[in-house]
Amino acid sequence: MPAWINRSLKIVSSAVFYIVVTITLLGAVFHTLVTGWTIWKAVMVVSLFVLWLLSYIILIQKLYGYLFGKRQ
């Protein structure tokens, strides 16, 4: 498999992961707002937010590396 296909698939998989995490985070926030705020729901929302930030950082780094080459 050519290297550009491999890198493209990594970016696509990161983008799909980011979209899934975003939808999950929005669903958790909506569920929490509708059913009431508890400490466990707050922990769930905060942990999903941290996962969302990490997935965003990973996606941006892979996209930057693909478009502009790896920084050495």
Residue 1 has pLDDT above 80, yes or no: no
Q: Which amino acid is at 28?
A: A
Distances (CA, A) of 18 to 1, 10, 33, 47, 61: 25, 12, 22, 14, 13
What is the structure's pLDDT at 56?
A: 92
pLDDT digits (tens, 9 = 90+) for 23-51: 999 999 999 989 998 999 999 999 999 99
Its pTM stands at 0.77
- What residues contact residue 58 under an 8 Å CB cut-off, 6+ apart? 14
